[in-house]
Every structure is written in structure tokens, then in C-alpha cells.
């Protein structure tokens, strides 16, 4: 379809919660295709609709590596129904060009969603694999949450953002994750 502009950190719509999709219409199918085209053009692993300025509960992920065929997964109205374990993950985001920082994530997640044809599916991702982390990262975008809100070290993250001329952390958006902290410190 089309390669869209990826919004950069600081754009208001990245912090807004997204609306449920009531019908997988032509508009939603076009949105999915735009997300895939844009994600592949940017060499991304995932992309959520709010990142291209469309606040619908839709994201795409493809964790295939260079020598594997493309394997896109479309998530419409996703819900994380189970999560366990904890890991530290070094993450980046297409809305934060070149900026990476360590964040807390669940090691295992199970998600229910609709695919691009409106069919329900359940997917489990385990052991802190890239797919498990990407699901959480993209799911957060649908709620106006960004990966830096899960950062391990606020001051280190501030320095990374400053280095790439990105706005500072919104301290009030930082997420307290005592259950993850406890598991990581055990």
C-alpha cells in the first residue's frame, strides 16, 4: 500500500490510548498493509498504528531473521491474557531513532487477538524471546505507553535520549513494576 511517516517521540498521539476496531473493514486492511510496508521499509520488528498517527488497536510484528522468509503477524484488538517471569531487555523503537535502553519485560506472554481477516487467535511467546518482548512493546503503544516508561535506569535513559536529541523522560509516566523488580532481584 504505502510507506507512512513514523511519528517521533514527543508527538502527542503516541501518548493517546487507541480505539477498538469494531469491524475488519477495507480501512483496517489498508492500515495493516501500510503498517507492514512501513515496518519493512524501516527494518523494524514491529509497528503499532499510533506510530503512524492512527489510534486504532492494531499492530504488526515480524521476527523473522535475514535468511528466513517474511512471517508477518497481525494483531487487531489484542489482549494479553497471561504473563509470567521477568527479564531485562535492551530495546529500541522506530519512534526513537537509534536510541536503545534496558527495560523490564515479562519473560512469557499469551495474547488473544484478531488477524487481518477478523479471525480470533491465541499466541504464546516464551523464554523472553524477541516475539514475547515485541508483543509487549507494541501492545504498550496501543495504550499510550512507551518502552522508556519501563526503563531500568532513568538517568542512563535520559542520557541516551539527550544524545539523540529526543525529549526527556516524562517522569510521571514511569511505570512502577514491583512484581518484575522482585523477580529480577531474586
Catalytic pick from 138, 156, 172, 181?
138
Could you tell me the sign of the dihedral formed by the alpha carbons of 145, 62, 7, 27, in that order? negative
For 88-157, give the DSSP string.
EEEEEETTEEEEEEEEEE-SEEEEEEE-TTS-EEEEEE-TT-HHHHHHHHHHHHHTT--GGGGBS-HHHH
DSSP code for 69: -
138 given a catalytic annotation: yes
End-to-end CA distance of the chain: 48
d(CA 49, CA 27): 12
Taking Cα atoms as reference points, which of 168, 138, 169, 154 lies closest to residue 44? Answer: 138
Task: Give the catalytic positions in this structure.
Answer: 138
Amino acid at each position: 500500500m504505502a510507506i507512512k511517516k513514523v511519528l517521533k517521540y514527543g508527538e502527542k498521539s503516541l501518548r493517546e490510548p487507541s480505539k477498538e476496531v469494531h469491524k475488519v473493514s477495507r480501512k483496517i486492511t489498508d492500515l495493516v498493509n501500510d503498517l507492514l510496508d512501513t515496518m519493512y521499509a524501516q527494518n523494524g520488528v514491529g509497528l503499532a498504528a499510533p506510530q503512524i498517527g492512527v489510534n486504532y488497536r492494531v499492530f504488526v510484528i515480524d521476527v523473522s531473521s535475514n535468511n528466513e522468509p517474511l512471517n508477518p503477524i497481525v494483531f487487531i484488538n489484542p489482549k494479553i491474557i497471561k504473563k509470567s517471569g521477568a527479564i531485562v531487555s535492551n530495546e529500541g523503537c522506530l519512534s526513537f531513532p537509534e536510541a536503545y535502553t534496558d527495560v523490564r519485560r515479562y519473560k512469557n506472554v499469551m495474547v488473544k487477538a484478531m488477524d487481518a481477516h477478523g479471525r480470533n487467535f491465541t499466541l504464546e511467546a516464551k523464554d523472553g524471546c524477541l516475539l514475547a518482548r515485541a508483543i509487549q512493546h507494541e501492545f504498550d503503544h496501543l495504550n499510550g505507553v512507551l518502552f522508556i516508561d519501563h526503563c531500568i535506569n532513568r538517568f542512563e535513559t535520559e542520557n541516551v535520549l539527550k544524545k539523540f536529541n529526543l525529549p526527556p523522560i516524562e517522569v510521571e509516566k514511569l511505570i512502577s513494576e514491583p512484581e518484575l523488580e522482585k523477580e529480577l532481584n531474586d
